[in-house]
Amino acid sequence: MDLLGRDTLEIVWLSLKVSGSAVILCAIISLNLAFLIEQSDFPGKRLVLSLINTMMTIPAVAIGLLLYLVLMRRGPLGGSEILYTPYAMILAQAILATPIITGLSLVAIRRIDPSVRDTAFSLGATRFQWKLLALTEARFAISAAVITGFARVVGETGMTMMVGGNIKGATRVMTTAIALETMKGEFELAISLGIILVIVALGINLMLHLVQGAGKRR
């Protein structure tokens, strides 16, 4: 088997596409959620915060199982027929990353000096314009949150396999392919994918390092 052939590249591309989509979807939800939580005062706020923290450590297979039960034919959302498609994988990965990105973004937004907000409003900003400014002010910490979320989901195996099914050419991604090929005794593809996954991980770490370095240098 060609180590960097069509099959391999297809798997790598699908991995990046699924995890990338999941993280983009999740970032939109998480950032809005973080702003909503930060800006509002409600009775159960502390509970919500500890719930987010708990969710950050929830085992991925638990999310996989739950989503499987919801999406299976007899499940409440069985009619959507997205089980064993990349959509289910994106959904699962987005659910996994949401608490992480929300929690870390919340910390980032909270770190912005309250006087930045007052200054923006005093200079005539609308609520939306203030949110954009907050994103730029906390850009380093928020990018780090998103990268951490991506790193968490791109390396995830069990959950992705449960809802994706590891179907060749359709839902087979790097981690699930490595697991399968190893079990089959086909080490070559497993090793080459393993190397690529390590490179991706390295790349992510390097980006995180650069982002944090840029944040510190200011």
Partner 1 sequence: MKIIAEDIGKTYNRKEVLASVSLEIEEGKVNVILGPNGSGKTTLLKILNLLERPDAGRLLCDGKECSLTSNAGRRLKLSRRMTMVMQNPTMFDATVFKNVAYGLKVRGEEKKLIRQKVESTLDTVRLTQAVERNALTLSGGEAQRVALARALVLDPEVILLDEPTNNLDSISLRIIEDLILSLKEQKDITLVLTTHLLSNARRWGERFFVLREGRLIQKGDRKEVFERPTSVFWAKFMGMENFLSGKLIRDEEQVKLDVDGIRLDVVSDAEGEAYATIPPEDILISLKPLSSSARNCFRGKVARIDEERAIARVTVDIGIPLTSMVTRRSKEEMHLVEGKEVYLTFKASAVHLFQSDEI
The residues binding partner 1 (CB under 8 A) are 113, 115-116, 118-127, 129, 133, 136-137, 218
42: left (phi over 0), alpha (psi -120 to 50) or beta: beta
Q: Report, in Å, the least distance between residue 204 CB and partner 1.
A: 24
Q: Report, in Å, the least distance between residue 35 CB and partner 1.
A: 16
Nearer to partner 1, 127 or 184 (CB): 127
Nearer to partner 1, 17 or 131 (CB): 131
Nearer to partner 1, 132 or 167 (CB): 132
The answer for residues whose C-beta is within 8 angstroms of residue 200's C-beta and 6 or more apart is 15, 16, 154, 174
The span from the first CA to the last CA of the chain, in angstroms, equals 49
**193 touches 178 (CB < 8 A):** yes
Q: How far apart are CA 6 and CA 93, in angstroms?
A: 25
Q: Report, in Å, the least distance between residue 119 CB and partner 1.
A: 5
Nearer to partner 1, 42 or 121 (CB): 121
Q: Report, in Å, the least distance between residue 29 CB and partner 1.
A: 24
- Provide the H-helix boundaries in the chain: 6-39, 45-56, 60-71, 86-110, 114-122, 127-137, 139-154, 158-164, 174-184, 187-217
Nearer to partner 1, 74 or 128 (CB): 128
Six token digits for residue 198: 């390590």
**C-alpha distances in Å from residue 129, one per residue of 5, 115, 132:** 47, 15, 5
Q: Report, in Å, the least distance between residue 126 CB and partner 1.
A: 6
Nearer to partner 1, 57 or 115 (CB): 115
Q: Report, in Å, the least distance between residue 58 CB and partner 1.
A: 34
Q: How far apart are CA 55 and CA 95, in angstroms?
A: 10
DSSP symbol at 165: -
